């Protein structure tokens, strides 16, 4: 069979020229077998209903996961504020200061309580230093919270896109790009010292936008290494808690030994539930597809 364009010889019944890829015209009425041959080459394989449902479920779950991921930490959408958050922190001096001593992760600690402390606050951001810290002393207070209270939540200034927050290196910072009635004395970065696993589990469940009541003590911390220290670890540590809301910069963070925590209002319950549901559903869907792949392979 000769190609009418390049005159190359091809096998009888060819649909395309093997040299120039020209499509051969076929008289389907006189030679229907060629028509079926040509159709079969370009016909996509039919997908089973289960395969189509599988792909649709994956796309939907991925969309829900992305939406939930961004919506669950959007504190600007919080509208309903618990009235307890309008109050100032309550700080009461401890007259009988009893220093607590214990050992943890190769350090001997001394915690000296100086004030009883109660804080009702709105969580702007969280930072867990267990994930990337190079110092074992960070394990004493692994979680930092950046929080607001008072007129800052009453006026809902946190909803303004002109106001932004950052949290890193054991500090929080904030700034705004236009006139804003923001009170610098009603925002704080707090270090949370937790001495039992039950409380730590409660703290680990906290989310951006949650409204909380913290009760505990402001403490000063001393630590001394009782073993070999790493390259970035100090042999001695002394940290004093801030005792005023009017300071700023290094040393302005409250170190709170937490005695109890209560979530007054949970933020973005629907978004958090959606994110959790879509995440675990995707994991199960992926595991199911992997299992089906191996079953099909071994059966074949």
Q: In this model, does residue 57 exceed pLDDT 70?
A: yes
Domain assignment present for residue 164? The answer is yes
> With b meaning 16 or more CB within 10 Å and e meaning fewer, what string describes 277-293?
ebeebbeeeeeeeeeee
Q: Same domain for 210 and 278?
A: no
Domain assignment present for residue 16? The answer is yes
Q: Same domain for 11 and 149?
A: no
Q: Same domain for 230 and 278?
A: no
| List of residues 6+ apart from 286 with CB closer than 8 A | none
| Cβ atoms of residues 102 and 219 within 8 Å | no
Q: Same domain for 289 and 211?
A: no
Q: Same domain for 104 and 90?
A: yes
pLDDT tens sequence across 11-25: 777 777 777 777 766
Considering the chain, what is the average pLDDT of its residues? 88
Q: Same domain for 159 and 226?
A: yes
Domain assignment present for residue 232? The answer is yes
Q: In this model, does residue 39 exceed pLDDT 50?
A: no
Q: Same domain for 64 and 180?
A: no
Domain assignment present for residue 45? The answer is no
DSSP assignments along 89-121, one per residue: PEEEE-SS---EEEEETTEEEEEEEEEEEEEEE
d(C-alpha 225, C-alpha 222), whole Å: 10
d(C-alpha 290, C-alpha 300), whole Å: 15
pLDDT tens sequence across 233-292: 999 999 999 999 999 988 999 999 999 999 999 998 888 888 899 999 999 999 988 988
Host domain of residue 55: 50-72+273-299
**From the CB of residue 114, how many other CB atoms can be counted at a distance below 10 Å?**
17
Report the pLDDT value the prediction gives residue 42, as an integer from 0 to 100.
46
d(C-alpha 266, C-alpha 142), whole Å: 22
Q: Same domain for 236 and 288?
A: no
Q: Same domain for 191 and 55?
A: no
Domain assignment present for residue 235? The answer is yes
What is the domain count for the chain? 3
Report the pLDDT value the prediction gives residue 270, as an integer from 0 to 100.
83
Q: Same domain for 152 and 280?
A: no
Q: Same domain for 114 and 13?
A: no
Report the pLDDT value the prediction gives residue 38, as an integer from 0 to 100.
45
Domain assignment present for residue 94? The answer is yes
- Quick one: which H or E segment has residue 63? helix 49-71
Q: In this model, does residue 73 exceed pLDDT 70?
A: yes
Report the pLDDT value the prediction gives residue 48, as an integer from 0 to 100.
75
Q: Same domain for 184 and 104?
A: yes
Average pLDDT over residues 213-219: 98
Domain assignment present for residue 12? The answer is yes
Q: In this model, does residue 37 exceed pLDDT 50?
A: no
Report the pLDDT value the prediction gives residue 298, as an integer from 0 to 100.
77
pLDDT tens sequence across 114-160: 999 999 999 999 999 988 888 999 999 999 999 999 999 999 999 99
Domain assignment present for residue 133? The answer is yes
């Amino acid at each position: 069979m000769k190609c009418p364009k390049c005159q190359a010889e091809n096998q009888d019944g060819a649909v395309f020229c093997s040299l120039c890829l020209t499509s051969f015209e076929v008289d389907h009425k006189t030679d229907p077998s060629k028509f079926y041959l040509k159709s079969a080459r370009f016909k996509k394989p039919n997908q089973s209903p289960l395969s189509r449902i599988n792909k649709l479920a994956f796309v939907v779950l991925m969309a829900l996961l992305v939406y939930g991921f961004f919506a669950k930490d959007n504190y600007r959408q919080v509208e309903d504020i618990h009235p307890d958050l309008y109050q100032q922190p309550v700080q009461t001096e401890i007259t009988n200061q009893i220093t607590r001593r214990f050992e943890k992760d190769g350090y001997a600690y001394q915690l000296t309580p100086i004030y009883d402390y109660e804080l009702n606050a709105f969580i702007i951001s969280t930072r867990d230093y267990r994930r990337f810290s190079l110092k074992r002393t960070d394990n004493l207070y692994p979680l930092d919270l950046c929080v607001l209270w008072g007129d800052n939540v009453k006026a809902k200034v946190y909803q303004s896109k002109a106001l932004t927050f950052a949290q890193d290196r054991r500090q929080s910072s904030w700034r705004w790009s236009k006139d804003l009635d923001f009170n610098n004395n009603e925002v704080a970065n707090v270090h949370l010292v937790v001495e039992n696993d039950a409380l730590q589990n409660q703290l680990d469940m906290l989310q951006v936008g949650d409204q909380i009541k913290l009760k505990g003590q402001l403490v000063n911390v001393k630590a001394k290494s009782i073993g070999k220290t790493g390259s970035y670890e100090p042999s001695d540590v002394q940290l004093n808690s801030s005792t005023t809301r009017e300071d700023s910069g290094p040393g302005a963070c409250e170190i709170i030994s937490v005695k109890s925590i209560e979530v007054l209002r949970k933020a973005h319950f629907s978004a958090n539930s959606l994110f959790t549901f879509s995440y675990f559903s995707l994991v199960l869907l992926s595991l199911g597809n992997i299992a089906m792949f191996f079953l099909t392979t071994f059966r074949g």
